[in-house]
Amino acid sequence: MIAQIGLTVLLLWVIAYAWAEYRRAPLIGTVAVLVAAAGLYFVWLPAHASWLAAFVGIGRGVDLILYVWLVISLTMFLDLHLKLRSQTEVITALAREIAIANSLSERSPGVE
Amino acid sequence: MLAPMRGEREASIWVVVPAYNEASVIAPVITQLIKLNYAVIIVDDGSTDRTGQVAALAGARVVTHPFNLGQGAALQTGIKLALQQGADYIITFDGDGQHQAADIARLVEALPLHDADFALGSRFLGASVGIPSSRRMLLKAAVWFTRMTTGLKVTDTHNGLRAMTRRGAGQIALRQNRMAHASEILEQIGRCGLRYVEVPVTVEYSAYSMAKGQRLADSLLILFDLSAQRLHR
């Protein structure tokens, strides 16, 4: 029961995070919400996880939950990568404005 | 320059050259462009050598990134500055000496002739002097990928020599800082429904340009960059 509650808190946090990220990266947000919701379902109904795991040839239900967690982690990594890209775009725009402004001021020495 | 009709002003043609550590080769590139009366913008992309100083001494207008951002970012900076300066036509031109300044006139002439916004240089319609077979195969694979993903029937995708009208330049906004910008331009041309024409050009490979050119690993990075961009807004 303690593990179930702990995992539930973590997965609810993932869902909240994914929901917040949806506007910036809709595909990532959707995947994370769906996978985390599936994880919640299996945490509270492990028998269903065992049945599905046997059905798709994974073995044990707990392995399936681990795989779900792995997918969530990779999705988060991808999301972090996209956030870094967004930051890079902002930095690029700033560097561009500085470069152009410097170029123009060098051409117009009388203009501050 | 395009010869003006009676009563018309001469079209303003700006050549944008991204340059990163090209101090040893940039001066002759600028000289051949200036001889043909083109306005030249060198975007010094945070070079650690004397690229900026050499370019300024050769007569180019130099805009300097405070640090290295990548060729795509450099092109966008140059295009933005050229638009601010009132350019009618903007040319992108590599700084490693593999392009011929004489090809620019044909690219610019093709724009009004075909009512196009972009004239894309094609080495496979023209000539690629000294191209290794491995590079040829890599470029052909890139052409196939671009045709599949953009629907544009182009014959060359990663050729840095291209011309665009003021209208065309204003429609594109490069977000790919590194080498994926070449595919991004084509993708934006396709998405915005801009008209384009391909023009035969000559690309001369040298040991220098080969050493600075793209490799298979870069191609994989380009694919990753293009895929990642589609995942966020």
- Choosing among A78, A81, A85, which should be mutated to test the B contact, i.e. which has the most B CBs within 10 A? A85
- The residue ranking higher by pLDDT, B6 or A59, is A59
Task: Name the burial class of residue B205, with classes exposed (0-12), middle (13-18) and buried (19+) by CB atoms within 10 angstroms of its CB.
Answer: middle
User: Over chain B, what is the mean pLDDT?
Assistant: 89
Of A24, A89, A98, nearest to B175 by CB-CB distance is: A89
Residue spans of beta strands (DSSP E) within chain B: 13-19, 39-44, 61-64, 89-92, 118-129, 162-165, 196-204
Q: Is A86 on the interface with B (CB under 8 A)?
A: yes
pLDDT value, residue B133: 87
pLDDT value, residue B88: 96
Residue A93 lies inside a defined structural domain of this protein: no
Residue A39 lies inside a defined structural domain of this protein: yes
pLDDT at A112 over 50: no
In total, how many domains does chain A have?
1
pLDDT value, residue B104: 97
Of B69, B81, B232, nearest to A95 by CB-CB distance is: B69
Tens digits of per-residue pLDDT, B91-108? 999 999 999 999 999 999
CA-wise closest residue to B18 among B59, B65, B57, B53: B65
Residue A68 lies inside a defined structural domain of this protein: yes
pLDDT value, residue A63: 78
Nearest CA in chain B to A97: B77
Residue A100 lies inside a defined structural domain of this protein: no
Residue A40 lies inside a defined structural domain of this protein: yes
Domain span at residue B185 reads 13-229
Residue B65 belongs to domain with CATH number? 3.90.550.10
Say if residues B118 and B195 touch (Cβ distance below 8 Å).
yes
Q: Do A92 and B81 touch (CB under 8 A)?
A: no
Residue B21 gets the label, from left (phi > 0), alpha (psi -120 to 50) or beta, of left
Bridge partner list, B120:
B162, B198
Residue B7 lies inside a defined structural domain of this protein: no
Helix (H, G, I), strand (E, B) or coil at B214: coil
Q: Do A92 and B228 touch (CB under 8 A)?
A: no
Domain span at residue A54 reads 2-79
How would residue B213 be classed by pLDDT, with cut points 50, 70 and 90?
low
pLDDT value, residue B116: 97
How would residue A111 be classed by pLDDT, with cut points 50, 70 and 90?
very low
Residue A73 lies inside a defined structural domain of this protein: yes
**B163 phi/psi in degrees, rounded to 5:** -125, 150
In total, how many domains does chain B have?
1
Strands B89-92 and B61-64: unpaired
Radius of gyration of chain A (CA): 23
Lowest mean pLDDT among A72-76, B55-59, B112-116, B181-185: A72-76
Lowest mean pLDDT among A63-72, B89-98, B139-148: A63-72
What ipTM describes this predicted complex? 0.83
Q: Is B9 on the interface with A (CB under 8 A)?
A: no
Residue A92 lies inside a defined structural domain of this protein: no
Q: What is the distance between the alpha carbons of residues A15 and A39, in angstroms, rounded to a whole number?
A: 10
CA-wise closest residue to B120 among B70, B158, B77, B167: B158
How would residue A108 be classed by pLDDT, with cut points 50, 70 and 90?
low
**A77 phi/psi in degrees, rounded to 5:** -60, -45
Lowest mean pLDDT among A60-64, B22-26, B72-76: A60-64
Residue A84 lies inside a defined structural domain of this protein: no
pLDDT value, residue B231: 65
- Which residues of chain B does A82 touch, with a Cβ-Cβ cutoff of 8 Å? 228, 231-232
- The residue ranking higher by pLDDT, B138 or B67, is B67
Residue B133 lies inside a defined structural domain of this protein: yes
Say if residues B54 and B80 touch (Cβ distance below 8 Å).
no
Tens digits of per-residue pLDDT, A9-56? 888 888 888 888 787 778 888 888 888 888 888 888 888 888 888 888
- The residue ranking higher by pLDDT, B130 or B120, is B120
